[in-house]
C-alpha cells in the first residue's frame, strides 16, 4: 500500500470518528432541552369533549345567517347527533349531514341529504335554505357559549344559533 492510500484511509477513519462523535454530542444536547408539557393540551381536549357533549344535547335555532336574521316565517335549526351526524330543518326542508370534529374547535360538515319540498312562501325561503346548506359545508370551526353556537369559515362567523329559552315558571 502506498503512502497516499494510507493517508486517504487515515483521513476517512478520522472523518468517521469525528462524525460519530458529533452525532453523539448532538443527541446529548437534545436530551437537555426541555420537553413540551402536553398536559394543558390534553386538558383542553378533555374539556372540548365535555363541551361537545353539552352542545350535542341541544337544539340550536338559527339566529343569524351571515349576520342577518333568518326570514320571518322560517325556523331553521340544527341538532348534532351521536359522533358523526347532525339533523335539522332549514326553514322548508329537513336535512341530515355527516360531520367530523377536529382538535379543540375544528368542524367539517359534509354529505347533506335533504327532503325535496318547495316552499313558495315566505319569499326567499328557498334561497336562504340553499345558502344555509352552502355555509354548513363551508364551516371549518365552531365557537360555543352557554346560549350561543357560532359556526365559522376562515375565522368569520357565518351561522349563529341560540338555544330556545323555555318560559320561566311562576
Give every CB contact of residue 72 below 8 A, 6+ residues apart in sequence: 122
> CA nearest 87: which of 115, 124, 123, 118?
115
pLDDT number for residue 105: 87
Give every CB contact of residue 137 below 8 A, 6+ residues apart in sequence: 109, 110, 112
Tell me the pTM: 0.69
Distance between CA 32 and CA 85 in Å, rounded? Answer: 46
pLDDT number for residue 50: 73
pLDDT number for residue 51: 78
Mean pLDDT, the chain cut into blocks of 10 residues (170 residues total): 54 51 52 59 64 88 97 96 90 96 89 95 96 97 93 97 65
Distance between CA 144 and CA 35 in Å, rounded? Answer: 32
Residue 106, all three cell numbers: 375544528
The secondary element (H helix, E strand) that includes residue 77 is: strand 77-81
Amino acid at each position: 500500500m502506498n503512502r497516499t492510500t494510507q493517508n486517504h484511509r487515515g483521513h476517512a477513519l478520522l472523518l468517521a470518528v469525528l462524525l460519530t462523535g458529533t452525532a453523539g454530542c448532538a443527541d446529548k444536547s437534545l436530551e437537555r432541552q426541555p420537553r413540551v408539557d402536553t398536559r394543558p393540551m390534553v386538558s383542553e381536549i378533555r374539556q372540548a369533549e365535555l363541551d361537545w357533549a353539552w352542545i350535542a344535547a341541544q337544539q340550536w335555532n338559527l339566529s343569524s345567517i351571515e349576520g342577518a336574521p333568518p326570514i320571518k316565517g322560517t325556523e331553521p335549526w340544527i341538532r348534532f347527533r351521536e359522533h358523526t351526524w347532525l339533523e335539522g330543518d332549514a326553514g322548508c326542508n329537513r336535512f341530515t349531514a355527516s360531520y367530523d370534529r377536529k382538535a379543540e374547535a375544528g368542524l367539517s360538515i359534509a354529505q347533506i341529504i335533504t327532503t325535496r319540498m318547495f316552499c313558495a312562501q315566505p319569499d326567499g325561503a328557498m334561497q336562504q335554505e340553499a345558502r344555509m346548506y352552502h355555509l354548513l359545508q363551508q364551516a371549518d370551526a365552531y365557537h360555543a357559549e352557554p346560549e350561543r353556537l357560532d359556526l365559522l369559515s376562515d375565522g368569520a362567523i357565518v351561522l349563529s344559533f341560540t338555544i330556545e329559552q323555555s318560559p320561566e315558571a311562576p
